[in-house]
Structure 1
Amino acid sequence: MISQTMQHALNAQINLEQYSAQLYLAMSAHCIGKSFKGFGQWLKVQASEETAHAARLIDFVLDRGGKLELQALEAPPTEFGGVIQVFEAILAHEKGITGRINALFELARAEKDYASEIALQWYVTEQVEEEARVGEIVDHLHAVGDQGGAIWYLDSKMGKRSVQ
């Protein structure tokens, strides 16, 4: 059985993962609208990953006898600036998610909820990967700037990402 406190906290994270998917879809549309179809594709895949993260947490809550508590999601913005600003915003968002995951892990530890702690370990590791991947993209974008042929090369490279 999962505690009400942990159930509520995990449900908040499920809703945040769903918001992240919506945010990345909005960013994808923004990039595609600016003819950066590769960055748009990368973001579509990222959105599907966020949905999968939410689904994984939903399964965990239900497997523990908990209840799913979906909430209405805030609409994401529709304007994000240039591609560099988009990916800087993604990195900031992912760092915020990392903080939330860490707080969930601390809550599980404080409640001596070992099952939740073990399940959350996957998310801790995933966030390290997310921040590293997006940080690398931000570094590449800063290196090439948002003008000239190099950004179009990165765009074509980003478009090769697919759902795994």
Structure 2
Amino acid sequence: MAINSAVAQALEEQINAELYSSYLYLTFADYYEDRGLKGFANWYMIQVKEEADHALAIRRYLLDNDYKPTMEAIAKPDKVFENDLEPLEAGLAHEEYVTSLIHHCYEVAHEVHDIRAMQMLDWFVKEQGEEEANARDMVTNMKLFGSDPKGLFDLDREYQARVYTAQTALPM
């Protein structure tokens, strides 16, 4: 059975959104790298890889369902930051936005009873919950400890310890 065109289009748009997220988080990593906060930069470099993984998983899903996705241009991120909290707040707002996009994909699949797409998207719904919680925690931690040099140092060290792990549970 061929994939529904509305579902395919929503998933194609999601590929672009995930690649944009990767591109956006690269600018966050650059901001923190420039500030000498290598742990925060590390956190966002891992996010860069994870967002690209998400795009590739959706691409694979489309290909496995006999649909060749079309890659669109990725918008240029336009964020400029005045302090170390702003990228974290922008990250939380962006994750909430991406959650709304995933929900849209799910709704489109639900409307046409595409159970297979809904099952694949279940993973992304759960992942977005984790992404939002992590982003929210980073904002909270920065507000609590970031204004103190020792606190900021400790947070940076904590984020420097994060290691990229290929997400084997991705629905590929």
1:67 aligns to 2:72 (yes or no): no
What letter corresponds to residue 142 of structure 1 in structure 2? K
Contact 1:38 1:157 in 2 (8 A): yes
The corresponding residue for 2:170 is none
Cα deviation for residue 53 of structure 1 reads 0.4
Cα deviation for residue 76 of structure 1 reads 1.1
Alignment RMSD, CA only?
1.0
Cα deviation for residue 69 of structure 1 reads 1.1
Q: How does 1:114-125 map to 2 (within 5 A)?
A: 114-125=115-126
Q: Describe the superposition over 1:41-63 as per-residue Cα deviations: whole angstroms up to 9, x where unpaired.
A: 11000110000000100000010
1:49 aligns to 2:50 (yes or no): yes
Instruction: Give the SS at the match of 1:74.
Output: coil
1:157 aligns to 2:158 (yes or no): yes
The corresponding residue for 1:139 is 140
The corresponding residue for 2:169 is none
Q: Describe the superposition over 1:55-93 as per-residue Cα deviations: whole angstroms up to 9, x where unpaired.
A: 100000010111211101111136223221110100000
Q: Describe the superposition over 1:20-39 as per-residue Cα deviations: whole angstroms up to 9, x where unpaired.
A: 00000111011100111110
What letter corresponds to residue 34 of structure 1 in structure 2? R
1:93 aligns to 2:94 (yes or no): yes
Rounded to whole Å, the distance in 2 between the matches of 1:149 and 1:111 is 54
The corresponding residue for 1:10 is 11
- Once the two structures are overlaid, the 10-residue window that deviates more, 127-136 or 76-85, is 76-85
Contact 1:26 1:77 in 2 (8 A): no
Rounded to whole Å, the distance in 2 between the matches of 1:78 and 1:100 is 20
Cα deviation for residue 137 of structure 1 reads 1.1
Rounded to whole Å, the distance in 1 between the matches of 2:70 and 2:43 is 29
Runs of at least 5 residues in structure 1 that lack an aligned partner in the other structure: none
1:35 aligns to 2:49 (yes or no): no
What letter corresponds to residue 32 of structure 1 in structure 2? E
Q: How does 1:19-30 map to 2 (within 5 A)?
A: 19-30=20-31
Contact 1:37 1:159 in 2 (8 A): yes
Residues paired across the two proteins, number: 164
Cα deviation for residue 144 of structure 1 reads 1.3
Rounded to whole Å, the distance in 2 between the matches of 1:42 and 1:81 is 19
Rounded to whole Å, the distance in 1 between the matches of 2:35 and 2:29 is 10
What letter corresponds to residue 12 of structure 1 in structure 2? E
Q: TM-score, normalised by structure 1?
A: 0.96
What letter corresponds to residue 110 of structure 1 in structure 2? E
Rounded to whole Å, the distance in 1 between the matches of 2:30 and 2:59 is 27
What letter corresponds to residue 21 of structure 1 in structure 2? S
